Amino acid sequence: MRIPRVFLIMGLFFVFVPAFSPAEPLHSPTWGFSLDTPEGYFYESGDGRDRFSFVSPDGGIIDLAVYGPGTFESPESLARDIRTRLNSRGDISPYTYHGKKAAIMELNISRPGSALSGWVLCVELEARQGGSPPLLAALAYGPASMRGLQPVHLSALDSIAPSEAEKRVSGPVTEFSYPRGDLVRAGIAGKNLAAWIGRNDAEASQALIEREFSVFRGYLDSPLWKEAWIRFYRALFRDSYERLADLAFIFERDWHEKYIQNRTGDARNDDEGRARDFARAALAWVQGFSYERDLQGSDFVNLTSAATEGRGDCDSRALLWAIILARNNIPAAIMVSRHYSHAMGLAQVRGPGAVFALDGRNWIVAETTANVDIGRIGESVSDPAHWIGIIFK
């Protein structure tokens, strides 16, 4: 994504009207789990409570079934039952996903004239009133001949959050494939500071990015490209939110100590002024990164590497900035443009500058790839019709 060269200094609000409103992931009010299906999947059958089946035009299928407490001894025993009933082949691998028992299994089904392949995830849901937890069985599969569906299957299962607690942690497939490992100290780019991160965080996030980019790339010529692009960033935000927890805390604590020492007793000392000043400090930090692109891959540096090595493109920086703010209780989002090949940050802070109208609220714009103050936007990228706002809920 390119760097805009000309900037407008806004003394008054310039309101952007969003070009698109993102779709929401599916949420089960009965059982508390959520699923962010790849774009194009539509609800085909089920009872709307314990059974759900989604299909896509290219043959992909997602089946969900909830089993009440005590129906199966464990996710592993549920996976064994599925393997037997479907006469499938594939090893079952039990593991623990953020304190919940889980099991993952490759699915291979041979039928006369056709073969199906995919993956199965079985995981505990939230227990109620101290009882044993219900279990969710999620199957993502399709024609074995369509190898391009494999990352779509894994993406679908990785989007599952068994409860509200998992909505901002890495997904169950990523956690199985790349456990975080021991926490290690890593320096924060451009700061004389260090934070705890998972030993495998950077590798895990980059693998997720490349998989999700391969899924998104299949929609580039589709009418659903906007929805697919938004889903891509939702997956990246979710994966990195918890990984950056200590880094965001250390960054804010260091800033706050300096802020208290340097404050002058003016209006900046209230909560609203403090939020804007913190957003400006975090913006200046990411603006100092080395500009880096990878046109052979996803063109996105994972946020752990971006934060510890001080490098990345505009969308890496914008998403990192948004997470740093969100982890410090400042509502933040991003805006992206296919037309401009650019991305910027958005935050709900008071003060002058260009704002983007999104979800019934005004968000101030933050340019992350040039050394300009919050609220300034390049004249060459200022047409609101070419921007998409993305909120992370």
* pLDDT the model gives residue 4: 33
Tell which residue, 145, 90, 159, has the closest CA to residue 120. 90
Among 158, 192, 215, give the residue marking a domain's end: 158
Among 106, 125, 158, give the residue marking a domain's end: 158
What single DSSP character describes residue 291? E
Q: What is the CATH number of the domain that holds 123?
A: 3.40.1000.10
Q: Containing domain of residue 350, as a range?
A: 7-22+182-391
Q: What is the CATH number of the domain that holds 369?
A: 3.10.620
Shared-domain flag, residues 130 and 234? no
Cα–Cα distance measured from residue 160 to residue 172, given in angstroms and rounded to the nearest whole number: 7
Q: What is the pLDDT along the chain (393 residues), one digit of tens a residue?
A: 333 323 333 333 334 343 433 456 889 999 999 999 999 999 999 998 999 999 999 999 999 999 999 999 999 999 999 999 999 988 999 999 999 999 999 999 998 878 999 999 999 999 987 789 999 999 999 999 988 899 999 999 999 999 999 999 999 999 999 999 999 999 999 999 999 999 999 999 999 999 999 999 999 999 999 999 999 999 999 999 999 999 999 999 999 998 887 765 544 456 778 999 999 999 999 999 998 766 556 679 999 999 999 999 999 999 999 999 999 999 999 999 999 999 999 999 999 999 999 999 999 999 999 999 999 998 889 888 999 999 998
Residues 6+ apart with CB under 8 A from 115: 108, 109, 143, 144, 145
**Residue 355 belongs to some domain of the structure:** yes
**Residue 300 belongs to some domain of the structure:** yes
Helix (H) or strand (E) holding 315: helix 314-326
* pLDDT the model gives residue 292: 76
**HSE, side-chain direction, 13 A CA sphere, residue 369:** 23
Shared-domain flag, residues 281 and 319? yes
Sign, Cα dihedral of 93, 95, 101, 104: negative
Shared-domain flag, residues 145 and 262? no
Shared-domain flag, residues 232 and 319? yes
Number of domains in the chain: 2
User: Which region, left, alpha or beta, applies to residue 129 given φ > 0 means left and ψ of -120 to 50 means alpha?
Assistant: left
Question: Phi/psi at 209 (nearest 5 deg)?
Answer: -60, -45
The model's pTM: 0.91
* pLDDT the model gives residue 259: 85
**Residue 167 belongs to some domain of the structure:** no
Between the two ends of the chain, the Cα-to-Cα distance in Å is: 25
* pLDDT the model gives residue 384: 87
Helix (H) or strand (E) holding 354: strand 354-358
Shared-domain flag, residues 191 and 154? no
Shared-domain flag, residues 153 and 201? no
